[in-house]
Amino acid sequence: MKCESVRGLVWGVVLLAVGPRIAAAQETTDVPAMPEVNVVGLPEFDTGDTAWMLTSSALVLMMTAPGLALFYGGLVRKKNILGVMMQCVFLMGLMSAVWALWGYSLAFGGESPYIGNLDHICLDGVIPYWDADNGGPVIPASGTIPASVFMVFQGMFFIITPALIAGAFAERMKFSTMCVFMILWGTFVYCPIAHWVWGEGGWLLVGRFAALDFAGGTVVHISSGVSALVCALLIGKRVGFGQEPMPPHNLTYTCIGAALLWVGWFGFNAGSALSANASAANAFVATHLAAATGVLGWSAAEWLKNGKPSILGACSGGVAGLVCITPAAGAVTPMAGMILGLAGGVGCYLACTKVKNTFGYDDSLDAFGVHGVGGTIGAVLTGVFATRAITYSIDDQGVASATSGLLEGNFSQLVNQVVGVAASAALAVVGTFIILKILDVTMGLRVTEDEEIRGLDLSQHGEEGYIFL
């Protein structure tokens, strides 16, 4: 008690001695005034739209990993699961960097009908910057959301699209070659097609052959699916293909991956409305119902053919339905979406079984059969079922517009859809062929036969997915 009394007496003396000086210093210290900031460059963004687009961006990223990583990973043999997962995870990093440095600019810069310019290199004019002339910050806008949010949302598409192609050459392509291929493919195939369909002034967005592609039927699925087929043909079949069984090693992973893809697709499609509005709501509902009928269509076809349905078929059918509704989600009713999903499920089943077996190509994980064929079915049927009730909109100047399809008497829209499919497929075929031929000469496309037999997990990454003690 005595010690505490002494300590309190000491602190009291100190405060009496220095307290007044501290108070005086606080009174006389000059506090620098905040500079006047010009807030002209700070638009009031719609918080609901911004929140929805940030959420959608996260959902689409989830589609690559863990979604696609698990879906594809379960389909390969166990000696290659890490190779597939590494491709998905590494592409999340690689393609994000390419998108920020030059990809976004080539896809969305300028007003050329065919390719973007370099206005947004290194995200110039996209991310916030300081305007020295006006003495304040500027936050670029894209509609009701910051331009950086639109950029990152589109960047998630740029990540998953090349990852889809990896399903065609799974278990046999060199990882180093894969990395260079994806950079070149993203730059010279994906970016031009994205600009055609979504870029300002793109020739498939406006003009004579304006096609409807709400969320990426041509940009994502046809481009990746057709490119996947070219890869499968040029790289060649896996060692032992057709002579030895190559069943999926873990359908549990595939089922989980398919479920994650289904959930993530709500961001993929409904997010493409770029706003939390009625169009997003319609896309959300249509997407879900198309996936549902995709499951039913593939499972029914398989049930009739084999006498029993499988979880692999149900999962593949769900993805096929999702692929098919992607271009149409902002143009058709949910009931029409059910028809598209059913067509996608049955059509992709036939492509992955009868067509693939007839021609004997080794599309390892059916990237072409699901994405190439499903995307084509969806893009064409968009020109049939598009309705003014869904596409009706009023622009900032108060001008109303709407696009209809064949069922509402607009045959020309069906023609536009076919032109869009053909143009996207043509660039994908030619671009992929040229890139692969160059890489085959300079780097080589395939691992050695011994490395393929050992598995890509060990030969390419020095790791094993499973260690049994």
pLDDT tens-digit readout, 411-446: 999 999 999 999 999 999 999 999 999 999 999 999
Q: What's the pLDDT score for residue 207?
A: 84
Average model confidence (pLDDT) for the chain? Answer: 92
pLDDT band at 467 (very low <50, low <70, confident <90, very high): confident
Per-residue burial over 442-460, b if 16 or more Cβ lie within 10 Å, else e, is eeebbbeeeebeebbbbbb
2-24: per-residue pLDDT in tens?
Answer: 445 545 554 454 445 545 544 44
Asked whether the beta carbons of 329 and 281 are under 8 A apart, the reply is: no
Q: What's the pLDDT score for residue 14?
A: 44
Q: What's the pLDDT score for residue 394?
A: 84
Q: What's the pLDDT score for residue 268?
A: 98
Residue 36 has pLDDT above 60, yes or no: no
Residue 335 has pLDDT above 70, yes or no: yes
Q: What's the pLDDT score for residue 401?
A: 87
Residue 205 has pLDDT above 80, yes or no: yes
Average pLDDT, integer, range 17-40: 46
Q: Residue 307: is it exposed, middle or buried by C-beta count within 10 angstroms (0-12/13-18/19+)? A: exposed
